[in-house]
Chains A and B, each alone.
Chain A
Amino acid sequence: MDAGLLVYWWPAIPVPGDVMKKVQFQSRWVPYMLLLPQLAIVTIFFLWPAAEAVQSSFYLEDPFGFGSTFVGFENFTDMLTSSDYGRVARFTGVFTTLVTFLSLGIALLLAVKADKVLRGSSTYKTLLMWVYAVAPPVAGLIGVLLFDQHVGPLVDFFAMFGWKMQIGVNYFDTSFAMVSTAVWKQIPVNFIFFLSGLQGISKSVQEAASIDCRSGMRRFWTVTFPLLAPTGFFLLIINITYAFFDTFGIIDVIVKNEPGNNPVTLVYKVYLDGFRGNDLGGSSAQSVILMAMVFILTIIQFRLIERRVHYT
């Protein structure tokens, strides 16, 4: 799921008090015809695979293809108690936290400054947002180049401080490259939303604040920041989703198909176990756990919408 895409359904979910059209067409079959293409694709490519994932998470597939046996929650308990899964889950947690807060923080700083300057603000805006269009694996490839053992300038740069980086060999160094690439790729989305949030704050509020309070710093934290909070909460969810799902390309390119001892995220592990390890049951169990996580995130988002609707 693309971070940008998630945005659309945010305001569109029906909430209590959502008004229906007063005038509508009446027709027995036209609406079904209109809905048919979407419902057909949803059923075949979404609901069916999801059901398969849930089902096979309770089965143990015979490695030689001789059917499968029902094992109940064994796949889940095996997965959750394995040290490997714990390690990957911990990395995913740290990775998500770092990517979310770094990209949100840097983007907020830049948006505040871009909102403030008069000269060249649209040039800054363009230059800061265009990386949105760079695909995650392409970002990963650029990361691989810049952190390359032989030709990468960043390796030389950090070597000046006595840090001998070994991407792909050293666990910490590889994580560092992944986090910086993922942050780089995510700043534009956050920047665009923060900037439009800032521009949505009414001029009269800002003028009133500047009369009451001379310190720009204090004005930011007491007036601007609280007014940006809804945008911030919303972006928080977007960023968590991004760090979970959309970083797949970055990670896949940086570990160069050799996960070995390298850090990977939970989503990458679903792919690894499913397609490389041929562990259908285990991979499905992980899928189901991730579905539950997406479900929880969605509920949180629902709650946020209700609160927002309440205020506006």
Chain B
Amino acid sequence: MYKLKIWDHLILLAGVFFMVAPVAITFFTSTHDAITIYKEGVQFAPGGKFLENYETVLFQAGGFTKEVDGFVMLKNSMILGFGFAIGKIVISMLAAYAIVYFRFPMASLCFWVIFATLLLPLEVRILPSYEIVQSLGMVNTYSGLIIPLIASATGTFFFRQFFMSVPDELLEAARIDGAGPWKFFKDILVPLSKTMIAAIFIIMFVYGWNQYLWPTLITTDESLFTLVRGIKQILQVWVGAQIPAFNEAMALAILAMLPPVLIVVIFQSWFVKGLVESDK
């Protein structure tokens, strides 16, 4: 019995090693100088260039893109992450509220129109989407970056499901007390949904932050690059470089993953709830 336990832990430790080691190596490599890495290969222990490398990546315009520094990209990533998560929650809560709490003709038609978006992932309509955004003059704008990502139905379904589980008696009581639709939404439904909003916010923030394909197409102006979008730029500098700046590239990679990873780890229980709870 005791022996079995040891095997369980060994398998789990192997799993942890498999998941953590690549990122640990990335971090260690980001704290050395480029020549050491070029000569000796990637590094397995922290080096002395931590501050120097991260300062270069964050504050020195140049590095990879020659025009923007990591700080601007960090700011853009924040705008995308927050803009996407907040926009999505607001829009989908309103839509779900209409679908669940109102009786109106065409309700099911509206629902199915929203549902249809699930059949159209960005990747399959990428070229026409780009052309439409371009014809609307939204290329290289924050709204062009965020709004087209917002509309998919996932959030609406999430809130619809949650609203369905709210007891009918609440609305009855609110109506007896003379509350209108707006008051009921603001004073009862939103406070009731707090945990759900937090859970979906975390998932949406990570999803928005990690967007790659859409920002790659929509932002050609470097001042609008996000950190994840900047990855592509790193590679273009790599190809054909004498001594590739592995250290700075890896520092940028660490910066690009740090905020979403922190959020997932710190708010772990909400995150898991958001991911799994709706599965019931």
User: Which residues on A are within 8 Å of B, measured CB to CB?
Assistant: 1-2, 4-14, 19, 21-28, 30-32, 34-35, 37-39, 41-50, 52-53, 56, 106, 109-110, 113-114, 116-117, 120, 124, 126-138, 140-146, 148, 150-153, 156, 184, 187-189, 192-193, 196, 216, 234, 241, 244-245, 248-249, 252-253, 256-258, 267, 270-271, 274-275, 280, 283-284, 287, 290-291, 294-295, 298
Contacts and interface: CB of A to CB of B under 8 A. Distances in A.
B121 A1 contact: yes
Given A42-B117, A46-B125, A248-B123, A137 B232 contact: yes
Interface of B: 4-5, 8-9, 11-12, 15-16, 18-20, 22-23, 25-26, 29, 37-38, 40-42, 91-92, 94-95, 97-104, 107, 110-111, 113-133, 136, 147-148, 150-158, 160-161, 164, 168, 171-172, 175, 181, 184, 200, 203, 206-207, 209-213, 216-217, 228, 231-232, 234-236, 238-239, 246, 249-250, 253, 256-257, 260-261, 263-265, 268, 272, 275-276, 278-280
A252 B29 contact: no
B19 A249 contact: no
Contact of A128 (B16, B92, B128): B16
Given A124-B16, A146-B25, A287 B239 contact: no
A256 B233 CA distance: 10
A21 B110 CA distance: 17
Contacts of B104: 27-28, 31-32
B253 A142 contact: yes
A175 B24 CA distance: 24
B195 to A, nearest CB: 15
Contacts of A287: 124-127
A32 B16 CA distance: 50
B102 A124 contact: no
Main secondary structure of the interface of B (DSSP, over half): helix
B45 to A, nearest CB: 13
Contacts of B101: 21, 24-25
A38 B95 contact: yes
Nearest to B255: A138
A192 B100 contact: no
A1 B38 CA distance: 37
B253 A25 contact: no
Main secondary structure of the interface of A (DSSP, over half): helix
Given A137-B232, A153-B42, A124 B124 contact: no
A129 B121 CA distance: 25
A127 B210 contact: no
Contacts of B41: 150-153, 156
B213 to A, nearest CB: 5
B19 A128 contact: yes
A243 to B, nearest CB: 12
A275 B104 CA distance: 43
A68 B50 CA distance: 56
